[in-house]
Amino acid sequence: MPGGNTRHSIALTPYPVYVRGGRGCRVIDVDGEERIDFINNFTSNILGHADPDVTEAVRRQIESGTAFSMPTGHEIDLASLLVERVEYIEKIRFCNSGTEAVMFALRAARAYTGKRKIAKFEGCYHGAYDYAQTSEAPTADVWGSGTEPRCVIEAGCVDSIRDDVLVLPWNNPDACEALIGRHHGDLAAVIFDPLPMRIGFIPPRADFLRRLRDVTQAGGVLLVCDEVLTFRLGFHGALHESGIRPDLTTFGKIIGGGFPVGAVGGADRFMEVFDHTKGPRIHHAGTFNANPITMCAGLAQMRKMTEQQYSRLERMGEALRSRLSRMLAQRGSPAQVLGKGSLFAVHLTDREIVDYRSVVESSPGKAFFLRLCHEMLGRGIAMSKDRLGGCLSTPMEQSELDSFVAALDESLATVQHSA
């Protein structure tokens, strides 16, 4: 494997911790060391590892086959659960990753509107689809103006993508209105993540999403909410309480119960572009779409994620965020704790954090986070190598939160002392 790995997000210098297994909120490495997992396969394992009900559902299905060239009832069950929970989706289709979900949502928007461009926010991640991956991590020498960010493309993507992607600055409604207003004649969709992980869960400002909704609606542009990660924030989805209703929504991660998954959903009229009974439509196949293992696992996980479980995670998240804030204040170093529900991130600065650029300009950099990750690993905590933050899982208790705060306090002392 080039670079010794097959997934950049988990490559670790000098080498990653190889895992033997996991149970509940802990992972055990090949040397038998146990760590509390604050990554949870990048948020997908909301019930932790090897949940007995998910395992049992999968075991039962595996014994009677893993994938068929005929549908099973399980896909109807999972589709029904999701459509019932999220009021802004009436129809849904499954695929195998968040990347694919985003790709098909953007394709659906193009098919519905007859327009070709898409817009995304600078520094935000939506998977590996060429268009969605533009300006994912641009540097100051190439990012251009703050109100009209340049579209920076990934290695291996064709240059012409630049003409079809509009890059928007997060939390700047005036700039977004101006850009969307100027391009709406060609613009099929604006995709956004309601609490973008890559920029450390910077929340949208008070009226930002409302203005985004209004300007897209006025311009005949579909608003695509990427809930691949944020669907773990609430029983009814991340946007339920905001009152904002997107046209299309993408899902992934938790809805697969620990197996590869993606889905795109929305109102009937948008989803009709996938309906083969209505004439020539978007061709959407996929050997493993809605395979019964993923569907059974996803259904078992989502059924266990009751409103009470979301509330409990919300309370634990609040408790962790306030304990982190207290600990960091006592340390006397500048810090801001962001996040919501079971998600948290720490920004080690007192500068106002509003968008991608303010994060880049105030971040201690890759080497710092790598050192911190190693220090945390040494203290029994699995945490991202790229940022200070993570997510909770339902098997966690107060004692795991205590362990995290104590390990971070000591790790920061070590890393900052040697800086």
Q: Which residues of the chain form contacts with ligand PMP (CB under 6 A)? A: 42, 97-99, 102, 125-127, 193, 197, 226, 228-229, 252, 262
Residue 112 a catalytic site member? no
CB closer to ligand PMP, 358 vs 384:
384
The residue at minimum Cβ distance from ligand PMP is 98
Of 115, 117, 253, 385, the catalytic one is: 253
Report which DSSP code applies to 16.
Answer: P
Counts for the chain of helices (H) and strands (E), in that order: 12, 14
Tokens linked to 134: 């533009």
* Beta carbon of residue 180, minimum distance to ligand PMP (angstroms, whole number): 21
CB closer to ligand PMP, 48 vs 196:
196
Of 226, 247, 340, 385, the catalytic one is: 226
Q: How far apart are CA 213 and CA 222, in angstroms?
A: 9
Residue 159 a catalytic site member? no
* Beta carbon of residue 125, minimum distance to ligand PMP (angstroms, whole number): 5
Distances (CA, A) of 2 to 12, 99, 384: 13, 22, 21
CB closer to ligand PMP, 250 vs 411:
250
CB closer to ligand PMP, 127 vs 234:
127
Largest CA distance in the chain: 66
Tokens linked to 317: 């998240």
Q: Give the containing element (helix H, strand E) for 337.
A: strand 336-340
CB closer to ligand PMP, 8 vs 417:
8
Report which DSSP code applies to 224.
Answer: E
* Beta carbon of residue 255, minimum distance to ligand PMP (angstroms, whole number): 11
* Beta carbon of residue 95, minimum distance to ligand PMP (angstroms, whole number): 10
CB closer to ligand PMP, 219 vs 389:
389
Q: Is 3 exposed, middle or buried (0-12, 13-18, 19+ CB in 10 A)?
A: exposed
* Beta carbon of residue 187, minimum distance to ligand PMP (angstroms, whole number): 20
Q: How far apart are CA 166 and CA 134, in angstroms?
A: 9
Of 112, 125, 131, 310, the catalytic one is: 125
Q: How far apart are CA 15 and CA 30, in angstroms?
A: 13
Q: Is 353 exposed, middle or buried (0-12, 13-18, 19+ CB in 10 A)?
A: buried
**Helix (H, G, I), strand (E, B), or coil: what is residue 250?**
strand
Q: How far apart are CA 118 and CA 160, in angstroms?
A: 13
CB closer to ligand PMP, 133 vs 411:
133
Torsions phi, psi for 42 (to 5 deg): 50, 50
Tokens linked to 235: 């029983």
Report which DSSP code applies to 149.
Answer: B
**Beta carbons of 294 and 44 less than 8 angstroms apart:** no
* Beta carbon of residue 33, minimum distance to ligand PMP (angstroms, whole number): 26
Residue 18 a catalytic site member? no
For residue 14, say if its preceding peptide bond is cis, omega within 30 degrees of 0: yes
Q: DSSP for 92-110?
A: EEEESSHHHHHHHHHHHHH
* Beta carbon of residue 17, minimum distance to ligand PMP (angstroms, whole number): 20
Supply the residues annotated as catalytic: 125, 226, 253
